[in-house]
Amino acid sequence: MATQSPFSWLVDAANTLRAKLPSDFPLPPTPPAWAVVEVQQRVVLFLNHVLMQEPAARERLQRQRGRQVQVCWRDQVFQCAFTPAGLVEFISPDPSSNANTKAADLVLRVNEPSPFELAKTVLQGEKPAIRIEGDVQLAAEVNWLIDHVRWDPEEDLARLFGDAAAHTLVQNAKRAVDALRSFVKQQASKAAT
């Protein structure tokens, strides 16, 4: 049974925007390399934050220590390694800055070149088409992580504000997203008629 993504309204909005853009609309410039590296390092920090809350995931990753995974999409490459603690370590694209640079044990190539289609697929709660190269067992572990590990924003908010306030904030945020989704759908249906 397919689960509807809570971000389906965003997919609809992106499709509407894309349809209105001229075919010769210029693409945004490529971000500088330092900015890409900074974003990738923040992704690793977030992944480690989520993994710290999942002992089963860390235990599985401890068995994969030292193994490296590379994710490629268009001209962007993100590479990381699993640590003995069961966390993720960023592997810099600059070989001179990291002694752990080696060929990745697993390479995941995202097949969809269009950022709009990729966002649409992900926001609908589906996995994008990926070409897998390398270790099958490591690919199975990564797939298990994708299927079973989830971030719980309510738990993080509870640490800051307490359980009741965190629950209220999350419920209000869900209602706001639902209202925004409903508004976007109404506007799209009005524009279509």
What number of CA atoms fall less than 13 Å from residue 132's CA on the CB side?
12
Question: Of residues 193 and 82, which shows the higher confidence score?
Answer: 82
Per-residue pLDDT reduced to its tens digit, 57-92: 999 999 999 999 999 998 889 999 999 999 999 998
Distance between CA atoms of residues 1 and 49, nearest Å: 30
Q: Kindly report the CA angle at 54 between 49 and 56, in degrees rounded to 5?
A: 140
Section 23-34 average pLDDT: 74
Per-residue pLDDT reduced to its tens digit, 139-175: 999 999 988 988 888 888 888 889 998 889 888 888 8
Beta strand spans in 83-183 (E) = 88-91, 106-110, 130-134
Q: Are 104 and 70 in contact (CB under 8 A)?
A: yes
The predicted pLDDT at position 96 comes to 61
Element (H, E) at 72: strand 68-73
CB atoms within 10 A of CB 66: 12
Distance between CA atoms of residues 163 and 123, nearest Å: 28
Distance between CA atoms of residues 81 and 175, nearest Å: 38
Q: What is the dihedral of CA 159, 8, 44, 32, to 10 degrees?
A: -130
Element (H, E) at 6: none
